[in-house]
Amino acid sequence: MKRLSEAAIGLALGAAMFGFAAPASAQKEVLIGTQCDRTGPTQIVGIRICPAQQDYFSLINSKGGIEGFKIVAPEIDNEYKVPPAVEAYERQKQQGAVSMALYGTPQVQALNQKLTEDKMPATSPGFGISAAADGGRFPYLFPIAATYWSQGAASIQFAKDKLGGSLKGKKIAYVFYDNPAGREPLPILEDLQKIEGFELRSFAVPPPGVEMGAQVLDISQRYRPDFVIDHLFGRSPSVAIKEYKRAGFPLSKVLGLVWASAEADIEAAGGWGVAEGYHTMQFAGAGDDFPVRKQIKELYKAQGKEPPKEMDDTVIYNRGLLNAALHVEAIRAAIKANGGKKPTGEEVKKGFESIHDFTLDGLVPPLKVTAADHEGGGWVQVFQAKGGKFVKETEWFRAYPEVVAAAVKKAE
Amino acid sequence: MFHREAGVFKTSYAADMALYPLPIAKWAVAACAGLFIVIAPLTLTEYYVSILNLILIACVGALGLNILVGYTGQISIGHGAFMSVGAYTAANLVTQLGAPFWITIPAGGLMAALIGALVGIPSLRIKGIYLAIATLAAQLIIEWTINHVPAISGGVQASIQVPRPTLFGMQLKTQTQLYLFLMFFVVLAIVGTSNLMRSRIGRAFIAIRDQDIAAEIIGINIFRYKLWAFAISSFYAGVTGVLYTYYLGIANYEQFQLTVSIDYLAMIIIGGLGSILGSIFGAIFVTLLPIVTRWTLEAFGGVLFSQADLLNSISNLRLIMFGVLIIFFLVVEPEGLNRLWRNIRNYFRVWPFSY
Amino acid sequence: MPEFEWGFTLVLLTNGVMIGLMYALIALGFVLIYKATDAINFAQGEFVMFAGFIAAGAADIFALPFWASALLSIGGMVALGFGLERIVLRPLIGRPIIAVVMATIGLAAVLRGVATMAFGAGTRAIVMPVSDEPIELGIVMLPPVQLVGAGISLAFLAAFTWFFLKSRIGIAMRAVADSQQVAMAMGINVRRYFALAWAMAGVVSALGGVVWGTMLGVDNQLALVGLKVFPVVILGGLDSILGAVIGGLIVGVVENFAAGYFDPYVGGGTKDFAPYVLMIAVLMLRPEGMFGRRRIERV
């Protein structure tokens, strides 16, 4: 017993010694702190989005870095829990991060105040706090991609277009994962219901969302809506697709919001044959046909390695590229503005707010980030699962910006 | 803590039952206080102080759970839910009434105590594993309620932003300030618990744990005391929730789910059921485990795994270590780290003699 | 009042019965362990998940057909059952309940970590050689996968009931569960029966893992179905095989009816809620469940 305690103390000391992290060295380096969830409920996303970010940073580094500064991007797994996320934030802050790529809505909410206190800009593309589109109230939080509110509004617009231009008297079902992130679009949908005159019914899927037979039955047999909006995460989108197929409900009447729309979901549901006709909303371009992906593949080949299989899920992988690319552009703008020195958090914030017309050949929508609008416009694009892959169905569009803006203003 | 006695020389009951039997015990505690309250926050960098803050908050929660599980022998898997009750109570009080922290913290604790007593009512009829499952149900039902009642949860997002506590007009923002703020409550919790356990109520709790039928026979109203145990333990949990809210600046029930309840159970088992020092050891151990695992892997991991695999492995290894350590402590040292500490102490008690 | 349509109700009922039998499949493993060794297994969900992983992994890595990977999963789980009983449970015999509970909780964490490390984080599919199209009986749709699962549940119900009532080994196991000391005094090798019980639970978990894995895909979230086990076994009785099946049926049906009829009024989510409320009611009124044995505490 004694020996055990001695050994324990020794191990603890040894580990602690190695924990003294060296801050980013004086060489020309910028540190971007990233967090991920590779083992928790959203691992289906995390294991693809995070390597994508690292790949993009490696690509930029191979071309000489950002204006000569090498990117160092340590990644910490927060298991979708809050205390590890807080600890990861503190650790990366201590290491000298100039910007952070956060992961997870509860984590963003927990760290929000600290971002402002520490003047640390952070991104939360496609998740996080919808009200953060307001750059005045959330100066250091950047959604830089359609928030849940914009996604909700866009989905109604898409339904409207699909149903012949008018929603009066039509029935819409909103299926959502029963947690705060899943409920977030509800106020927008209810606002739009008053404006457009459709009937709305919502169906909650309790976590973990692996059993939703009753809800799907209700939809397909009783409610029989004209259109279904699926706002699900993690495993539940694939389960939903399977259930719709089983119940015989046509998937061409279903639109999945951004986290229900990856190749991984289609495959987990049983393959493209099962999901034929399913519409998916994206905030980053889907598919392989982008120059930046080719460059990354070449980078791997040059190192004698195969491109990683995470690239096969183009939807989620490309989102990681989007996130990383916007960080790079913000830091680039900051370095250019301060004359080639290592940027501070405040300068990177201004760098984010200067992003416009950066589209990475269509992978990134035509964002226009300003000090007042940290969302960049709320652009989305819809792809459809057809014949074994995602086919572009619409161009980049945004919907009901006034309704969304009113909601942002109203939020506390 | 560190002293050795040469014999028993007490001359009055008061002296025998005193918290610090010898002057040297008081010195030892003062030294510890000096170390942790004065030296630590001034010398450590902000990152380490933030880790200490997480540990401090966990200490309060672990102490509370130990009162219920360690001292009274009632298994509870609902600790996380009581924390969220406290958190949301405080958050609502702050945002709607602008209450200062010295009102919200007790209020959060009281509300949690109330709910805790409610959850404890089944203990009249059921015991042991059935009670544990009932508390599991309570955890899930409370989560569900907060999720679905916007009046409590503050809206669809179910999280309420809370500004940092203000003391004498100064807002506590830095990690060091928060450290001292949290340390105050931890000290309060430790003193409260040790006095509670030396009192009549504490002895009743221990009697219930050891032989509840015998306790009932000698006249202890076990139902009432079980309710007290639930209430007091939930009070601590509520306070933990409020402290967490102030530390993060936000109240969100997703931080207090089933995994958190299990984490706290692990803390008191690893630390030692039924001891204050054990709760603290356990809180330190379980909070630091993922962090230290990550440090070790970052330092040594390159040897065993490739870079890509490494990132994937760190939290899996953390899970495995967590489970293995729980099983290890249960099998090898059921009384936890506290026992290890006592063994060390006893060794030095008669050192350099062997007995 | 919600529209009480017969058709819809019938569909909900059949769906509930099917899902209920699937829950029963998981609960059977739990009941087996409790019945034979008095241990509460909080890791039942993880057993199912791990079994699913073995099956899916075998199919993937070794390109085995379904039957072979299912058999491999059964074999693996039996080995796991033996091993776990030896390493984790045996040292904890005679210790208070909380020790065993926490040990299984720790075990759950280990299994989750090992599974993800060994098999990777992606979702794996198990492909059962049954068709994907549901069989239609009027308006009722029965997915073949669930039919297989239901069939297995009922088969186990029959087999285990016979086993515990008539076979020598089964009776010996019941004796061990009743009183270890007396059983030992009668010459029964208690340790061997403990190991056997865990191995049998492994078999049940393996089949459960294969069925649930086919339905949902295998990844570390599959373990969360394990939480459903508690309402089922409390309703049915912790140590009753029949109780596991009936309890499962009740939970499945209650869930579906809650989702179908209460959800629209409460804004959703009653499905999760209802079984636990039911469970608390049962705990207050009749803690041993419908078919469980009354626990008599002796001073």
Cβ contacts of B212 on chain C, cutoff 8 Å = none
- Is the Cβ of B128 closer than 8 Å to some Cβ of chain C? yes
According to DSSP, residue A284 is labeled S
Domain count of the fold of chain B: 1
- The CA distances from residue A216 to A97, A137, A209, C139, in Å, are 46, 39, 12, 14
Average pLDDT over residues B60-89: 92
Coil vs helix vs strand at C218: strand
Measuring CA to CA, which residue among B267, C266, B344 is closest to residue A4?
B344
Distance in Å, alpha carbon of A248 to nearest chain B alpha carbon: 31
Mutation target among A45, A179, A218, A224 for the C interface, most CBs of C within 10 A = A218
Neighbours of B43 (CB within 10 A): 9
Q: Is the pLDDT of residue B308 over 70?
A: no
Whether residue A207 contacts residue A198, with contact meaning beta carbons closer than 8 Å, is answered with no
Please check whether residue B21 lies inside any domain of the structure.
no
Residues forming beta bridges with residue B161, ordered by sequence position: B250
Poorest-confidence range of A91-95, A359-363, C73-77, C126-130?
Answer: C126-130
Neighbours of B199 (CB within 10 A): 11
Chain A, nearest residue to C112 by Cα:
A39
Q: Is the pLDDT of residue A3 over 60?
A: no
Please check whether residue B36 lies inside any domain of the structure.
no
- Tell me: the pLDDT tens digits for B44-54? 788 888 888 99
For B236, the domain range is 46-349
Distance in Å, alpha carbon of B135 to nearest chain C alpha carbon: 9
Instruction: Select the residue of A8, A77, A83 nearest B311 (Cβ to Cβ).
Output: A77
Please check whether residue B214 lies inside any domain of the structure.
yes
Poorest-confidence range of A201-205, B305-309, C57-61, C109-113?
Answer: B305-309
Both tokens of C50, joined, read 């791990």
When pLDDT is cut at 50, 70 and 90, the band that residue B304 belongs to is low
CATH of the domain at B144: 1.10.3470
Does the distance separating the beta carbons of A90 and B344 come in below 8 Å? no
Give the long-range contacts of residues A239-243, CB within 8 A, separation 24 or more: A239/A209, A239/A210, A239/A211, A239/A212, A239/A269, A239/C216, A240/A175, A240/A205, A240/A212, A240/A216, A241/A265, A241/A266, A241/A269, A241/A270, A241/A274, A241/A275, A241/A278, A242/A269, A242/A270, A242/A274, A243/A212, A243/A213, A243/A216
* pLDDT tens across the length of chain C (299 residues): 445 577 778 878 888 888 888 888 889 889 888 888 878 888 999 999 999 888 888 887 887 788 888 888 899 999 998 888 888 877 887 777 778 888 888 899 899 888 888 887 677 777 777 776 777 777 777 778 778 888 888 888 888 888 888 888 888 888 887 777 888 888 888 888 888 888 888 998 898 888 888 877 787 777 778 888 889 999 988 888 888 889 999 998 988 888 777 776 666 667 777 888 888 888 888 878 888 776 666 66
Residues of chain B with pLDDT > 70: what percent? Answer: 90
Coil vs helix vs strand at A353: coil
Cβ contacts of B134 on chain C, cutoff 8 Å = 279-280, 283
Separation CA A261–CA A270 (nearest Å):
14
Please check whether residue B33 lies inside any domain of the structure.
no
Both tokens of B230, joined, read 């639930």
Chain A, nearest residue to C139 by Cα:
A221
Does the distance separating the beta carbons of C7 and A221 come in below 8 Å? yes
pLDDT at B102: 86
Does the distance separating the beta carbons of A180 and B147 come in below 8 Å? yes
Q: What's the whole-model pTM score? A: 0.86
pLDDT at A23: 45
Cβ contacts of C277 on chain B, cutoff 8 Å = 137, 141
Task: Say what the ipTM of the complex is.
Answer: 0.85
For chain B, give the mean pLDDT. 84
Poorest-confidence range of A12-21, A231-240, A290-299, C212-221?
Answer: A12-21
pLDDT at A15: 43
Please check whether residue B26 lies inside any domain of the structure.
no
Please check whether residue B309 lies inside any domain of the structure.
yes
Does the distance separating the beta carbons of C219 and A238 come in below 8 Å? no
pLDDT at B233: 95
Please check whether residue B326 lies inside any domain of the structure.
yes
Does the distance separating the beta carbons of C114 and B134 come in below 8 Å? no
Residues of chain A with pLDDT > 90: what percent? Answer: 10
pLDDT at C1: 40
pLDDT at A378: 83
When pLDDT is cut at 50, 70 and 90, the band that residue A110 belongs to is confident
B10, exposed or middle or buried, with CB in 10 Å at 0-12, 13-18, 19+? exposed
Both tokens of A42, joined, read 């959203």
Please check whether residue B30 lies inside any domain of the structure.
no
- Is the Cβ of A114 closer than 8 Å to some Cβ of chain B? yes
